[in-house]
Amino acid sequence: MFLLAWAAGAAIPATAANLAGDPLTGSGEVARTLLPAAQLQAGELPSPIDNSAFALPENAAPPRHEMVGTLQLFGGGASSWTVHHDFYSRALEPPITSALRRVPRLTVVLTQSGSHLIPANRGLRFTGDAYWNAIVGAGRIWSERGDGGKSRASLPITLVERNQNCAYHGVVSFLFDGNSTSPAAFQVTQETCKYFKFDLWDAGPSRFAAGAAPDAGPVAAAWAAEAAARMPVRPIDRIRDDYPRSQVYPQSFAGGMDREHITAYGVAFDGVHYAGPVRTRHGDYPYPDQIRLPSYSTAKTAFAAVALMRLAQIHGEEFASLHLRDYLPKPPRGAWQSVTFEHLLDMATGHYWDPGDQEDEKDTTTELNFFVVENQNRKLRGAMAFTAREPPGQRWVYHTTDTYLLTWAMTEYLGRLTGATKKKPADLLGFVADEVYKPLGLSAGALQAVRTDNRADGRPFGGFGMFWTPDDILKIANLLNVQRGMIGDRQVLHPDILAATMQENPDDRGLDAVHQTKPNKYNNSVWSRRIEVTSGAAGTEQIRVRQMLGYGGIGVLMLPNGAVFYYFGDGDDHEWLRSAREAYKLR
């Protein structure tokens, strides 16, 4: 792995004063035993180490140098790795293994604001690599007395499967003296991925060339605004002290789940985020606020359903009754002609092969003709391959393909309104970002997604392929669950459609659905399950827990008392009943 950095001697932007943790006030006297300067200079990382070695230490001093410009990471030889789980046995095929072990080539335009290193692009990067795309977050730069007068920097880097949604959580660190950089140490020690788990590590030589970075001031200002917009975060253990009358037990959250396979979990209530620790196989993750968690099917709610409700609020409730047939390249034959946007959002098109739970989703034909292909038109054909069995609107059958068809149709609708062309196509995700995500204060990394043809101008998948921080998904959940579709005093989501989505319309509960043998309702891409909870001193009551769920062990529970509990894991573990009951105690 090679590192190329450009630095400029420009003044640190004034926004530094707005960033948490600045100015650094430590003496730089750090008792460092892991990743000392000599090891970095030698380019040695023989095995994964505790992630604390990549984190800003408690007694860090201000950086001695400014690093403003372009950082380049080049994929070199194969890195070292340990494979922990490989369902598809890819690690047993030498050509594939060699490619999987290479870190993709990256170019990162950096701005420095105080001790913060801020990439201009903090979203998904389409690298062109055969296997990996990447997300680079904002890092830190500081100085320690043991580093020989150099500054020490680190950045969070997430590897993302090309055309898929698994996320591999890593970090990189190096020394910088204003003119040159040390070799860079890099490791991935945790993932959110059901079928492929590994540790990956490397250290490689570096080079440096002088230069300058454009838009430094606006980039730093945008990062300061993003950081300031986050919900206040407290350790999850604090929730018992903050709500003593509720008799909440912090250890009950994610209780009953296998913590080894939980990347992140927490509770939001009354405007505060109570976060559980973000563990890896080698210590806590150094950047928990920026960990990039895969959406998988939470995107069906947080993107596709939000897009439909926003467009319905602008253009009227009848928007949901528009027909798919009118927004396809060629008019469909047969029963597809009567399928509406809402049928697609409900996964009730009447087209399926096997109505059993997830059977069509797991079918080899669906995998090969929809999930594996990158081309947008081939995905469209794969999404429409199912056989007509009954009129739409009668039966729920789980199909990520339905959400792809819906986002395709909404993109076409949007394109006709805006006069989109082949050179300047409509972008549904860009629309949702401008109309909902940015006003809601979501992070820059949530504004990009996996797209068709592995290109930044491809179509977002709709049903999966986005990346959240915990703060991002909590804000979306609160928009649905607490704010009733309002941002400030502005109604952004159609209130009647949202009310039905959230089980507040007794005449529209949705369709019967099964998830891991449990009975649910499914309405507008939101799951709902009735559970029994304690009520009062001795009684019980039935409540509906509204859920965004994702493949592999991802859940966002929206409770009637305004609490939200989330978990992002990859052990296919959805044993959330204990957590939901505990969160409902909050008053």
Last residue of a domain, one of 469, 492, 510: 469
Phi-psi region of 81 (alpha: psi -120 to 50; beta: other; left: phi over 0): beta
Mutual angle of helices 400-418 and 376-383, in 10-degree steps: 130
Rounded (5°) CA angle 335-336-339: 105
Residue 323 burial by CB count (10 A; 0-12/13-18/19+): exposed, middle or buried?
middle
Q: Are residues 184 and 327 in the same domain?
A: no
Low-confidence ranges of the chain (pLDDT < 50): 2-17, 210
Q: Are residues 108 and 216 in the same domain?
A: yes
- The per-residue pLDDT for range 321-379, each reduced to its tens digit, is 999 999 999 988 888 999 999 999 999 999 999 999 999 999 999 999 999 999 999 99
Last residue of a domain, one of 469, 490, 511: 469
CA distance 405 to 409: 6
CA distance 113 to 15: 7
String of DSSP letters for 435-485: IIIHHHT--GGGG-B-BGGGSTTS-B-SSS-BEE-HHHHHHHHHHHHTSTT
| Model pLDDT, residue 236 | 98
Q: Are residues 456 and 415 in the same domain?
A: yes
Range of the domain at 575: 233-283+475-583
| Model pLDDT, residue 207 | 58
Which residues sit opposite 71 in a β-bridge?
5, 108
Q: Are residues 112 and 195 in the same domain?
A: yes
* Assigned domain for 291 exists: no
In the block, which residue shows the tokens 């490689």?
Answer: 204
Q: Are residues 306 and 259 in the same domain?
A: no
Largest CA distance in the chain: 74
Q: Are residues 345 and 442 in the same domain?
A: yes
Q: Are residues 277 and 408 in the same domain?
A: no
CA distance 573 to 441: 30
Q: 87 is written with which tokens?
A: 């369902």
Q: Are residues 161 and 248 in the same domain?
A: no
Residue 266 DSSP symbol: E
Phi-psi region of 237 (alpha: psi -120 to 50; beta: other; left: phi over 0): alpha
Q: Are residues 491 and 448 in the same domain?
A: no
Residue 540 Cα to chain centre, angstroms: 36
Comparing C-alpha atoms, which of 232, 269, 234, 276 is closest to residue 252? 276
442: domain CATH number is: 3.40.710.10
Beta strand segments in 18-119, E: 69-74, 80-86, 106-113, 116-119
Do 173 and 205 touch, CB atoms closer than 8 A?
Answer: no
Contacts of 415 (CB under 8 A, 6+ apart): 425, 426
* Assigned domain for 293 exists: no
* Assigned domain for 187 exists: yes
Q: Are residues 321 and 401 in the same domain?
A: yes
* Assigned domain for 290 exists: no
Last residue of a domain, one of 469, 501, 534: 469
Q: What predicted TM-score, i.e. pTM, was given to this entire model?
A: 0.95
Comparing C-alpha atoms, which of 310, 399, 322 is closest to residue 356? 399
Comparing C-alpha atoms, which of 49, 66, 69, 50 is closest to residue 5? 69
Q: Are residues 422 and 309 in the same domain?
A: yes
* Total of domains in the chain: 3
* Assigned domain for 228 exists: no
| Model pLDDT, residue 210 | 44
Do 398 and 516 touch, CB atoms closer than 8 A?
Answer: no
In the block, which residue shows the tokens 């609490």?
Answer: 563
* Assigned domain for 508 exists: yes
Do 169 and 263 touch, CB atoms closer than 8 A?
Answer: yes
Task: Tell me whether strands 293-294 and 467-468 are parallel, antiparallel or unpaired.
Answer: antiparallel
CA distance 116 to 228: 14
Q: Are residues 197 and 109 in the same domain?
A: yes
* Assigned domain for 324 exists: yes
String of DSSP letters for 194-211: SSEEEEEEEEE-EEE---
| Model pLDDT, residue 75 | 66
CA atoms within 13 A on the CB side of 99: 12
| Model pLDDT, residue 12 | 39
- Residues written for the chain: 587
